[in-house]
A and B are shown apart, each in its own frame.
Chain A
Amino acid sequence: MSDGVPGWVAILRGLGPRRIVLRVGAPFIALVIALVITMIVLRAAGVDPFNAMSSMIDYGTTSSSTVEILNRATGYYLSAVAVAIGFRMALFNIGVDGQYRMAAMLSAVLGGAVALPAPFGQILVIVAAMLIGGAWAAIAGVLKVTRGVSEVISTIMLNAIATGLIAYLLNPARLAEVRPGSNNVATTPIPESGRVPGFELAGGTVFGLIVLAVAVGIAFYVVINRTRFGYDLRISGLSPTAARASGVDSRRMVVTTMALSGAAAGLVGMPELLGASYQYSLNFPAGLGFTGIAIALLGRNNPFGIGLAALLFSFLDQSSDVLQLNDVPKEIVLVMQGTVVLTVVIVYELVRRFEIRLQQRAVAADLAAGRTIAQQEPTGGTA
């Protein structure tokens, strides 16, 4: 009651629901626009767009696809959260890709070398991955605050260095071994006791660590929105000048945020490593870090939005296979994903401006009508 105007009153006055409509409406509009553009592209490629779409949906919703979509989305989700942590502070961590590959590779070596009883082995590998990812990303943070190097540049370069370093280490002479009967080079497999079992679903196995992804999402939400640290991080992203004037140590925030983003990135490879491959090899999935950037944008850096965006991208990837059967190049899906990101960025910015203007008007109207907190309960406090 002491809040003066509780949330529900604000909603009744029209400040609330409009915002919610905009929040949900913006991505929806962006998706519709992207869909229309894709259909035009399909049409131009000489394909019946409706036919192609319906076959994608049919294939994407089969039960075997569902499992595959969930598993793929798990990695996407973690990757996008890692990117979003940086985005919330206006740091562009393009290096999630290098961070998670370094983390997955080195923690796979560790997991293969040390056999611990059930929960400890897994915890060791996961914690090691977070530390490695965090340390790799922190390099970019330190370079930024000490030498003024843009994190965009340094993380891209660190990606290239990670690629080189992994190629060097993933060698029979060093940390890996050649699998007999193939050309594949891989780290020592993680023993049975160190693996994370999955859930059986619709005839497939969903990664057990999907639970970890959910937990990371919740932790992200709570830390960003409910803690002092999260507040510092958000205002640093929205207004570095106001953050500095309020006493935020921007240098420390940059390094901490990069390290946290990298730690989250370190988790990206874990569902695959501990749930399916048990080793880091030449076949280990790469490129998730870049997809994460697009997904974080689409999901508005919001943990729930990112979840939906990860599922959408995963669905598009999965259902792209069926396009080939219809003689459509599966790369059309990349066009779709690119279009989604572009429209999303544009629509969000337009909506943001519209929202501010809308509120200014609503506030002006409220003030003109005399609806102010100060007027409601006049107190003797003012002179």
Chain B
Amino acid sequence: MPNDEAAPAVRLTSITKRFPGVVANRDVNITVRRGEVHALCGENGAGKSTLMKILYGMQRPDEGTIEVDGAEVTFHTPADAIARGIGMVHQHFKLADNLTVLENVVLGAEKLHGIGAAAGRRIKEIAAQYGFDIEPDRLVEELGVGDRQWVEILKVLYRGAKILILDEPTAVLVPQEVEELFGNLRDLKAEGLTVLFISHKLDEVLSVADRITVIRRGETVATVAAAEVTSRRLAELMVGSELPTPETRESTVTSDEQFSVAGLTVLSPEGRAIVDDVSFAIHRGEIVGIAGVEGNGQGDLIEAIMGMRPVTAGTVRFDGADITNWSTRRRREAGIAYIPEDRQRYGLVLDRPLWENRMLGHQTRPPNVHGPWIDRRGARADTTRIVKEYDVRTPGIDVLAAALSGGNQQKLIVGREMTGDPRLLIAAHPTRGIDVGAQAAIWEHLRTARAAGLAVLLVSADLEELIGMSDTLHVILRGRLVATVDVNTVTPEELGSAMTGAGPDGAAGPDGTAAGGPGGGGEA
């Protein structure tokens, strides 16, 4: 086996990794051939990142073996993995902005070619070899996102990596940059490098990968050749058949306008419009969905609506009042509930017990407080109620929020935000990265609240969720609402192409479902 001619670049056998309360990977088997682009595909929380951390030596598997080029290896630290020619490009860049490209690349690898002219020559060689254009003496802070990613890849190549792991590399890129990245990945492949590409975006995976391994809930489901699979089939593999479909039955939309934004514009610190002239309304009993590739302004839109980010132009109206200049607290007190995208950083204080987390965002209202005083008894009793009603699996309300699994943390947040008679719910990725059971429960809560007249703004990357839950569905692209689609007829494929600005045309949409086609997609 070890000296086999076709020894795979990487073979993972029966990898199992447990964390307290969850199994992140169970009996995972993956074989990556040399010189291929291999995609690792699965929903958020399926265990992709853990698996790659194991391969990169950041975590050690509880069971199973790793083979690189046919030889079994044990990695204790990323340095061990680097020594075997494995390099990782993280989703969040790890670059020093105030250093040059060259300085960033040689940082930590000074022994290879020094830090001076020799290193600069080596960088230019690599850049020439793989066909990209980068100036070693530019400051990283002057570079755009796409170029920064190249610096990250350059760092890895400079250290002699033959196997590249890219963790969700497209999450931060705009579509043109994605295309450019894919072109470069093909160049890397042509040069004989092996690329492991992590993503949950089907279209990207299909366009760049040779073979695709699908992971669902920590287990490998299948490895398929990209040429022989459709995105429909891939989606089925990813979500499995048992996934309950998010569907709102009969319409509960009323004619009362609960909330609206008009001409909302938010500028980035550099003066670029990250939310650009956005207008829409939400009625009582209506769920309005926002679909978009991550990083197209949906997060900024939500922060502007919550008053966490200054608005440059436009108005926000709630209950007939102009709330554009209200503080976050005043908005919350007026009945706007908020399920943040990043629950661990924005939704919870991990180091505090559940009952104190129940107060978060509601710390000015009963039952949590009595005048200026914390009402411990009231807050604790209501936490117990939420834990029961929303099926938060916990032995008690005094455990730290950090001790709960992601799904249970999210159920606590949903329960908290549904409490106190909200009239508008801003839900960002409410079911991201949580197990199927919790997902179904959260959808059910949203439906119940909608039937009771709650207005909901739903931002999600899960297209099935958006199509299934929304009454009205807008598409956001580069900060603008570019299309409104009919949720009764649109397919995930059509929605996906609208999100990338490709337009609703193409083979998939004979019904011509997307109304108000994104004519402006190509410009601006």
Contacts and interface: CB of A to CB of B under 8 A. Distances in A.
A2 B388 contact: no
B267 interface: no
A225 B379 CA distance: 14
A249 B396 contact: no
Interface in B341-371: 342, 345-352, 356, 359-364, 369
Interface string B405-447: 0000000000000000000000000000000000001001100
Given A227-B372, A356-B402, A246 B396 contact: no
B397 interface: yes
A373 B21 contact: no
B338 interface: yes
B384 interface: yes
A51 interface: no
Contacts of A44: none
Contacts of A229: 372
A246 B332 contact: yes
Given A13-B395, A360-B20, A373-B387, A246 B361 contact: yes
B400 interface: yes
Contacts of B364: 228, 247
Interface residues of B, number: 60
Contact of B397 (A5, A360, A367): A5
B394 A241 contact: no
A352 B350 CA distance: 12
Nearest to A378: B388
B345 A246 contact: no
Counting chain A residues whose Cβ lies within 8 A of the other chain, the interface size class is: 35 or more
Nearest to B396: A5
Interface string A233-245: 0110011011011
B351 to A, nearest CB: 5
Contact of A228 (B348, B351, B363): B363
Interface in A312-364: 352, 356-357, 359-364
Contact of B349 (A225, A239, A352, A357): A239
Given A5-B398, A360-B402, A232 B363 contact: yes
Nearest to B307: A247
Interface string A363-378: 1101100011110010
B373 A228 contact: yes
B395 A372 contact: yes
Interface string B37-73: 0000000000000000000000000000000000000
B13 to A, nearest CB: 27
A246 B340 CA distance: 10
B157 to A, nearest CB: 35
The residue among A228, A230, A249, A381 with the most chain B CB atoms within 10 A of its own CB is A228
Contact of A373 (B345, B376, B395): B395
B398 A228 contact: no
Contact of B395 (A228, A246, A248, A363): A363
B26 interface: no
A249 B345 contact: no
Contacts of B328: 244-249
Given A245-B338, A374-B388, A379-B388, A4 B396 contact: yes
Given A5-B395, A5-B397, A356-B402, A245 B387 contact: no
A184 to B, nearest CB: 47
B441 A383 contact: yes
B351 A371 contact: no
A245 B361 contact: yes
B278 interface: no
A367 B394 CA distance: 7
Contacts of B340: 245
B306 interface: yes
Interface in B377-408: 377, 380-381, 384, 387-400, 402-404
Given A235-B352, A383-B448, A241 B400 contact: no
Given A242-B349, A360-B20, A364-B21, A226 B374 contact: yes
Nearest to A236: B349
A367 B403 contact: no
A204 interface: no
B113 interface: no
B329 interface: yes
A256 B332 CA distance: 22
B327 interface: yes
Nearest to B360: A246
Nearest to A352: B351
B308 interface: yes
A249 B329 contact: yes
Contacts of A218: none
Q: Which 5 interchain pairs have the tightest Cβ spacing?
A: A247-B329, A366-B395, A360-B20, A364-B21, A4-B384
8 contacts: A228-B364, A242-B348, A244-B308, A245-B306, A245-B328, A247-B332, A249-B328, A373-B387
Given A239-B348, A246-B361, A247-B333, 10 more contacts: A5-B395, A228-B364, A228-B369, A244-B308, A244-B328, A246-B363, A247-B332, A247-B361, A359-B399, A373-B392
Interface of A: 2-5, 7, 9-10, 13, 15-16, 225-232, 234-235, 238-239, 241-242, 244-249, 352, 356-357, 359-364, 366-367, 371-374, 377, 379, 381-383
